[in-house]
Each structure stands twice: as C-alpha cells, then as structure tokens.
Amino acid sequence: MDKEKVKKALEELNKEKTRKFKQKFDLIIVLKHIDIKKEPIDFFSVLPHPKGKKASVCALVGPELEDKAKTVCDEVVRDKIFNIYKDDPKKAKSLGKKYDYFIAQANLMAQVATVFGKILGQKGKMPNPKAGCVLPPTGNIQAVVSNLQKTVRVSAKTMPVIQVIVGSEEMKEDDVIENILAVYNALVKILPNEEQNIKEVLLKKTMSKPVKV
C-alpha cells in the first residue's frame, strides 16, 4: 500500500470538524475471494508505535509475579481470591468490562479458565499466549505490559471485514501512517493470495465517515 495514499486519506479526515475529545483512527480493510468461515483471520500485530490512549491491564497471578505486577498493571488479582469472583458472577463481569487486556501466570491458567473463562471469553479478553498474555512465574511482566500498548488484534471470523484501531489524533501523523502500514503488511502476508484478497482499504475517525485510501 502506498504511503502517500495513506497520507492523503489522513489529510482528508483531518478536514472534518474538530470534536471535544481526541478521536481514534480506525483502519478498515474489506476482503474478497476468501471464505472467512473456512479461513478465519485472527492474529495479533505489534505496531511500531503505541496507539494513543494507554491500554489498561489486569494481572491474574500468584505470589511469584504479584509484586512486579503491582508496579506496571492497573489491577492485580491474586490466585488466593479467585474464588470470590467464582462465587460472584456480577463481580467477575464487572472486572471483565473494566480492562482492555488480561494477563495470567501460566501455571494458573486452569484456574483462570474455570473462574474467568466464560466472562473473558465472551469479550475476547481471555489471556492469549499469541499476544504474550500468558507468562511463566519468572516472566518479564513489565515487557509484556509495554508490548500490549502497541498490540492490536486483527480479526475477521464471520464477515470479510477487518477493523483495527491504529492510532489517535494526539499522535504524530507519521507514527499513525507507520502503524497503518504495519497492520496492512502483516495482514497481506497471511492472506492466501496476498493483495489479491484486498478489495478496499478505508480510514475513519471515531465520529467520521470512512475515507477511501
């Protein structure tokens, strides 16, 4: 995808009236000649730059990672109180809504699945090894949390359309462009016929209409 075309699309979007909040940029990619039900797309892509607003992270850990998690995560839930959430589905549901990502200690995944599996699974927030969200008791939790600030999930499971947040108005334009190209290139690599499977590429802000790239 041509960088100049992306730049022009962003310039077009920036002509829209200013809102009272910093809008996010969404990359929308429409696919063709691919049966999504037979060949679903679901992978994590690490962007060159954080995508704007800080992603919130909750850690589901044991004593081994507790102290480290408290320094970098927004909330830490110890294994010894998992049962509180098991006995109170409303509390578990509230926790699931509260954070963007959940990370878990690998040796506790069976308990995490039992207690939080249904709630987090429905929201697509179950700790995922592919995103680095499942780590050993000796894992580098600071590196994981830092990486999540630049991680996006690229997914199309029912419709041949992918929509991903790639940045926000508070970012430098060049950084947003680099994020857009990173997602596009990562997707093209895993498509059966690469760019031949791309029908249309669009960009939009939170409150704007899509603009064709």
pLDDT tens track for 182-205: 999 999 999 999 999 999 999 999
Give the pLDDT of residue 47: 97
Given this model, what pLDDT does residue 52 score?
A: 85
Cα distance between residue 95 and residue 112, in whole Å: 13
* Spans of all domains in the chain: 3-52+150-212, 57-148
Whole-number Å distance between alpha carbons of 72 and 70: 6
Q: What phi, psi does 145 have (nearest 5°)?
A: -65, -40
Position 18 scores a pLDDT of 86
In angstroms, the CA 167 to CA 180 distance is: 8
* Cα-Cα-Cα-Cα dihedral sign, residues 124, 21, 24, 175: negative
Residue by residue, DSSP assigns 76-144 as EEEGGGHHHHHH-HHHHHHHHHH-SEEEEEGGGHHHHHHHHHHHHHHTT-S--GGGT-EE-TT--HHHH
Contacts of 167 (CB under 8 A, 6+ apart): 24, 25, 49, 51, 52, 175, 176, 179, 180
pLDDT of residue 115: 96
The token pair that represents 30 in the structure block: 């429409």
- Which mean pLDDT values do the consecutive 10-residue runs of the chain (213 residues) have? 94 89 96 94 95 92 98 98 95 96 98 96 94 96 96 94 96 96 98 97 95 96
User: How many other CB atoms are there within 10 angstroms of residue 5's CB atom?
Assistant: 12
Radius of gyration in angstroms for the set of CA atoms belonging to the chain, rounded to a whole number: 19
Residue reference for tokens 């999930």: 153
In CATH, which of 3.30.70.20, 3.40.50.2000, 3.40.50.300, 3.40.50.790 is domain 57-148?
3.40.50.790
The pLDDT assigned to 164 comes to 96
Q: What superfamily does domain 3-52+150-212 belong to in CATH?
A: Ribosomal protein L1/L10, rRNA-binding domain (3.30.190.20)
